A and B are shown apart, each in its own frame.
Chain A
Amino acid sequence: ASSKPPAAGAQAWELASPELREPARFALEMYNRGRAAGTRAALGAVRGRVRRAGRGSLYSLKATLVEPPCNDPTVCQLPVSKKTLLCSFEVLDELGKHMLLRRDCGPVDTKTTGAGRAPGWFSPASPLFQLSPDDRNETFSSFLPLLNKDPLPQDFSVKMASIFKDFVTTYNRTYDSQEEASWRMSVFANNMVRAQKIQALDRGTARYGVTKFSDLTEEEFRTIYLNPLLKDAPGRNMRPAQPVTDV
């Protein structure tokens, strides 16, 4: 890994692990958010790249996380002694303020890959750790169209922060702590990506974007506002209505 970053606006470059520590720690913090002590995942190996983004840096990290043993049978359906996850994170660091833009995790089957590592884990050429072109396109260009231009726009995160600020003002949001606020901002940014994807795939005239639910994760929204019984429970039989003959 080269230790001296090239000039702003150049392509991403490999990092030495000490430089990854901060963004990796923030990503782990966000991943463990809301978990009680003893149930939090631990960080394994990390590698990543950084790309200058205006006044800050955009880190693309690939990391392994180790989940603790699952002791509570009511929580885990399949008792697993330990589970290693392979995650990719995008963390924006601007003047020391971090924002998680993206998180994707999936289990790495320790039995097949042996010793908890994917083959070629440390070889830079390993396909597991390259940002695949569609990865790159899907995340950066669909949500952040301005990112297509190099260098990144000066005010990208300022723009996101100002949109989030409008949201907080419009819907009169309050958060208990700075940490909560930064978590909600990262959820908000993630939701902007989701909204834009839904927009791109809608065949009608609907417009999707910021709503009063934009700082909720999909899981929170689904749990709080939706009604799983509708698809699960049969409900009572009702007789069919008489067809309408004359309107």
Chain B
Amino acid sequence: PPPQWDWRNKGAVTNVKDQGMCGSCWAFSVTGNVEGQWFLKRGTLLSLSEQELLDCDKTDKACLGGLPSNAYSAIRTLGGLETEDDYSYRGRLQTCSFSAEKAKVYINDSVELSKNEQKLAAWLAKNGPVSIAINAFGMQFYRHGISHPLRPLCSPWLIDHAVLLVGYGNRSAIPFWAIKNSWGTDWGEEGYYYLHRGSGACGVNIMASSAVIN
């Protein structure tokens, strides 16, 4: 893969959003991925609705949590995603008010990505931002810089937060992943989290996935 890549300067990433007091990170991770896929396949960057997933994805648990793999399936079953403006975010479970006529994007499938970080970087550079899930150890107090917790403290098996890989590179020879979080721009580096790349830090490579749009 190229030595560095960043989909933010290629127009494939919407502004950082804020999930509020709700465990809906899974919805933001998936909409972020689908936004990127739709941009790369159709050339239009749309900000898509997480609230639709909270309300209408009956497999997942809205603010109590959910899984990207379930969410992709729900988007296919529902028939697509509305935009953020049409189905705006409330941060709590409401009655599903999805209307197929208003859906602006659809997906055809979803895939699981490699756990090899080199291959993951290559896939990202070619195909767009990637939905992942990590162990959020230390993120409550993260301010800036490249995070690299000791492995026992940030076990790859205690995944508890879904986010979006938007790029990768090196800062003074330290390899990093650039990660779009959903805790607002007043957290981390303007809403972004930088995590060490190449060591499986915090399970960054364990649950990588993407929607597929034909």
Contact = CB atoms under 8 A, between A and B. Distances in A.
A interface, over-half SS:
loop
A23 to B, nearest CB: 28
B148 interface: yes
Contacts of B125: 244, 247
Given A231-B157, A239-B112, A211 B146 contact: no
B69 A240 contact: no
A224 B140 CA distance: 12
Contacts of B26: 227, 229-230
A225 B19 contact: yes
Contacts of A213: 140-141, 187
Nearest to B73: A236
Interface residues of A, number: 44
A227 B161 contact: yes
**How large, as a class, is the contact surface on chain B?**
35 or more
A224 B160 CA distance: 12
Nearest to A191: B141
Contact of A229 (B64, B141, B143, B209): B64
Contact of B60 (A229, A239, A247): A229
Contacts of B10: none
Interface stretch (A66-74, A142-150, A215-223): A215-223
Contacts of A228: 23, 65, 160
B47 interface: no
Contact of B72 (A198, A226, A227, A238): A238
Contact of B66 (A191, A210, A227): A227
A237 B113 CA distance: 12
A235 B72 CA distance: 11
B138 A209 contact: no
Contact of B126 (A204, A225, A244): A244
B160 A244 contact: no
Contact of B147 (A202, A209, A221, A242): A202
B208 to A, nearest CB: 9
Interface of A: 171, 191, 194-195, 198, 201-214, 216, 218, 221-222, 224-231, 233, 235-244, 246-247
A224 B23 contact: yes
Interface string B17-55: 001011101100000000000000000000000000000
Given A243-B123, A244-B1, A244-B119, 5 more contacts: A202-B148, A206-B144, A212-B183, A229-B61, A238-B112
A237 B70 CA distance: 9
A169 to B, nearest CB: 13
A189 to B, nearest CB: 13
A230 B111 contact: no
B23 to A, nearest CB: 5
